[in-house]
């Protein structure tokens, strides 16, 4: 079984700790950095996709119904989507509430 990036011994990494597999940063879960998470009132969503465009983490994906879902394993809770949403359908909610 291949070890996860945070399980390897010091001598098991690529030379100079370079990244040799494109896209492997997706394996690093940044979701637990979050103190607030986005919640959507999908009734107000006009499917414009602005949230998808502005998310700096690529943590917003197109859902089958044309609205957007949040990947909470990677969303850091920055709130840019909520600020930019045209209809105000995204709100940031304290974690644990």
Partner 1 sequence: MAKRVGIEVSLAISEAVKLAQVDAVAAYPITPQTHIVEHLSELVAEGELDAAFIPVESEHSAMSVCAGTSAAGARTYTATSSQGLALMNEILFIIPALRLPIVMTIANRALSGPISIWNDHSDIMSVRDTGWIAIFAENGQEAFDLTLQSFKIAEDHRVLLPISVNIDGFTLSHVIEPHEFLDQEEVNRFLPEYKPAVQLNPDDPVSMGAVGVPEIYAEAKKCQDEVLKGSITVIKEVFAEFAEMFGREYKVVETYQAEGAETLLLTMGSVGETAMEAIDQLRAAGRKVGLVRLRLWRPFPAADLRAAVRGIKTLAVIDRAVSFGGTGGPVAGEVRSALYSVKDAPYVASFITGLGGRDITVDDFIGMANQAEAMAKANEIHEYKMIGVRE
CB count within 10 Å of CB 78 equals: 18
Q: Is 64 in the site for partner 1 (CB under 8 A)?
A: no
Closer CB to partner 1, 22 or 96, in the complex: 22
Residues 9-38 that bind partner 1 (CB under 8 A): 9-11, 13-20, 22, 28
Q: How many CB atoms lie within 10 A of CB 15?
A: 6
Q: Are 94 and 35 in contact (CB under 8 A)?
A: yes
DSSP secondary structure code for residue 17 in this structure: G
What is the nearest approach in angstroms of partner 1 to the Cβ of residue 96? 23
Task: Return residues touching partner 1 (CB under 8 A).
Answer: 5-6, 8-11, 13-20, 22, 28
């Amino acid at each position: 079984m291949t070890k996860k990036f945070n399980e390897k011994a010091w001598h098991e990494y690529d030379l100079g700790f370079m990244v040799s597999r494109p896209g492997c940063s997706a394996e690093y879960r940044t979701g637990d950095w979050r103190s607030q998470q986005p919640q959507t009132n999908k009734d107000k969503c006009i499917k414009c996709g602005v949230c998808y465009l502005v998310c700096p983490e690529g943590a917003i994906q197109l859902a089958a119904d044309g609205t957007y879902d949040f990947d909470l394993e990677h969303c850091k809770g920055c709130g840019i989507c909520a600020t930019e949403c045209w209809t105000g359908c995204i709100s940031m909610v304290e974690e644990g509430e």
